[in-house]
DNA sequence: GGCATCCACATTATCGACAATATTGTTGCG
DNA sequence: CGCAACAATATTGTCGATAATGTGGATGCC
């Protein structure tokens, strides 16, 4: 048996302890408990996660690769923040990739896919009603992973996920906004609907529309910050 | 002064010792000195690069993130190989992204950009004539980095580079093929030309055509391999 | 009082040693 | 002779300690 796996038996989102820490930190950042530019001290995190420092180190390296943390030699890591221009650029690429995914995804969606999406959508919806931002975030993430994972091209899906990660640090501004979360929920519902009845035109349309709000929310907020310095 | 850099003074391709090792291994893989599925032992690499094991470890992690190396817990790392289907998929996404980049790159290209590209093209061309695959690879890489880096969207450029990295393990099949390298050289020249006179239509066309050959070369070779098992 | 220098502290980077795990080889039994 | 259990080796994973580096504050000079 060769080193290279022919089939990956386990779920992608399982893995070791470093993945747990990566996802946890990602959540903290998205939920705003860790703010942009905030410092991330290795020892502190090691204590918090009850892990050794080299594990934290690996997690930080991965977060850096994901683009939501910045590191400097001998100085340490910090939560990355984005300029308005960067936000625009990230969302431009997302629009391109997600639009393409929506174009090539097999229609109508398989019963299995639709079932999974509906289940996730249900959890998401309940979390929205219950005002549980953590669960909202997780379900939302999963919804998009499953949806775009179904496009048939894992590499396209992967790039989409990567950009989504980068956008997370942005998205947190939107996740606490009642109106936006509700809109997202409603759009998810429509995606499932169009997927089910094979309406590609509408699907592409709603996918394109879906990524705009949080971008605008971030830009709005960021212009407010700018004003504080006047 | 905050941890987060406002401006990155140094060249992106500089960095520490781990980057040196990453690029070096990448080259070895592309040039075929390290073959797909070949095992990468930490200690061996440590000796070869005169580095400590934890540095090698970090480099392997990065190569894994780049998608050209596969790792399994307690088993080690190996050069990744791609199935024909995966090659198709990677090139599909590349076509999408590079096509988009060609659509949005400001035309005509700035004199500074054209100057840089011409210089790189010159080096590339000489390396082709001199049959120096290592230099060909480096110059080719740089050409594409500079070209797509000029599209104005660093995130798009980054995604393109990432996919290019993945394709490297594929590209090595083409880099030793005289005809293909010459064709690439000629196409680079045309890109500069269209960039210079602001002909977007032609530019997009040649960019699209440019990424096909090495894909086909890989698929051709890979079907030969398959026959050996009959 | 302003400024340069040095020192103490905080934090990250490096290292070598050891532990855990997988792989290969060997032995002995049926 | 085949196969299973065990032993030996190879390789990666983990750990604690120490070195290197950067940061801020105190000191002393002008």
Decide if A5 and B72 are in contact by the 8 Å CB cutoff: yes
Distance (Å) from the C-alpha of residue B8 to the closest C-alpha of chain A? Answer: 11
Distance (Å) from the C-alpha of residue A127 to the closest C-alpha of chain B? Answer: 32
**In which band, very low, low, confident or very high, does the pLDDT at A83 lie, cut at 50, 70 and 90?**
confident
List pLDDT tens digits, range B75-107: 999 999 888 888 889 999 999 999 999 999 999
Domain boundary among A63, A79, A95: A79
DSSP annotation of A75: T
Partner A contacted by B81 (CB < 8 A) = yes
Q: How far apart are CA B166 and CA A103, in angstroms?
A: 24
- Nucleotides on strand D lying under 7 Å from protein C-beta: 11-17, 20-24
- Do A91 and A190 share a domain, yes or no? yes
Give the pLDDT of residue A176. 72
- Do B70 and B118 share a domain, yes or no? no
Instruction: Give residues with Cβ within 8 angstroms of A29, minimum separation 6.
Output: A68, A79, A168, A169, A172
Q: How far apart are CA B72 and CA A91, in angstroms?
A: 34
Range of the domain at A42: 17-79
Domain boundary among B28, B53, B79: B79
Partner A contacted by B184 (CB < 8 A) = no
DSSP-assigned letters across all residues of A88-120: HHHHHHHHHHHHHHHHHS-SSPPHHHHHHHHHH
- Residue corresponding to tokens 């990468």: B40
Distance (Å) from the C-alpha of residue A159 to the closest C-alpha of chain B? Answer: 7
Decide if A3 and B62 are in contact by the 8 Å CB cutoff: no
Give the pLDDT of residue A225. 61
Q: Which of residues 2-21 of A touch strand D (CB under 7 A)?
A: 16-17
- Do B122 and B180 share a domain, yes or no? yes
Domain boundary among A52, A79, A106: A79
**In which band, very low, low, confident or very high, does the pLDDT at A165 lie, cut at 50, 70 and 90?**
confident
Tokens of B110: 């700035």
Distance (Å) from the C-alpha of residue B147 to the closest C-alpha of chain A? Answer: 17
Is the C-beta atom of B73 closer than 7 angstroms to strand D?
yes
CATH value at residue B109: 1.20.120.530
- Do B110 and B215 share a domain, yes or no? yes
Q: Is the pLDDT of residue B10 over 60?
A: no
Give the pLDDT of residue B229. 45
- Do A64 and A97 share a domain, yes or no? no
List pLDDT tens digits, range B148-202: 999 999 999 999 999 988 887 776 667 778 888 999 999 999 999 999 999 999 9
- Do B133 and B37 share a domain, yes or no? no
List pLDDT tens digits, range B33-62: 899 899 999 999 999 999 999 999 999 999
Decide if B96 and A92 are in contact by the 8 Å CB cutoff: no
Decide if A86 and B155 are in contact by the 8 Å CB cutoff: yes
Compare all CA atoms of chain A with the CA of B85 and give the residue at the minimum distance.
A153
A1 CA to D4 C1' in angstroms comes to 20
Nearest CB to A81 within list B4, B75, B93: B4
Q: How far apart are CA A144 and CA B157, in angstroms?
A: 23
Partner B contacted by A100 (CB < 8 A) = yes
- Residue corresponding to tokens 């429509």: A190
Compare all CA atoms of chain B with the CA of A16 and give the residue at the minimum distance.
B73
Q: How far apart are CA B125 and CA B132, in angstroms?
A: 10
């Amino acid at each position: 048996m060769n080193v290279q796996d022919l089939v990956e038996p386990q779920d992608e989102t399982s893995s070791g302890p470093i993945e747990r820490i990566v996802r946890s930190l990602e959540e903290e950042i998205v939920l705003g408990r860790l703010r942009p530019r905030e410092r991330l001290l290795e020892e502190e995190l090691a204590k918090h996660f009850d892990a050794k420092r080299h594990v934290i180190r690996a997690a930080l390296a991965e977060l850096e690769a994901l683009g939501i943390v910045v590191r400097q030699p001998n100085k340490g890591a910090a939560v990355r923040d984005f300029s308005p221009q960067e936000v625009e650029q990230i969302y431009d690429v997302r629009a391109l990739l997600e639009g393409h995914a929506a174009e090539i995804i097999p229609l109508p969606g398989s019963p299995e896919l639709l079932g999974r999406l509906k289940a996730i959508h249900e959890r998401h919806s309940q979390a929205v009603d219950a005002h549980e931002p953590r669960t909202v975030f997780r379900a939302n993430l999963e919804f998009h992973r499953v949806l775009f994972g179904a496009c048939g091209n894992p590499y396209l899906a992967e790039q989409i996920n990567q950009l989504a990660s980068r956008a997370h640090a942005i998205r947190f501004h939107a996740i606490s906004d009642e109106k936006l979360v509700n809109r997202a929920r409603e759009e998810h519902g429509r995606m499932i609907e169009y997927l089910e009845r094979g309406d590609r035109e509408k699907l592409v349309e709603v996918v394109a529309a879906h990524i705009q709000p949080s971008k605008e929310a971030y830009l709005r907020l960021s212009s407010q910050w700018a004003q504080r310095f006047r």
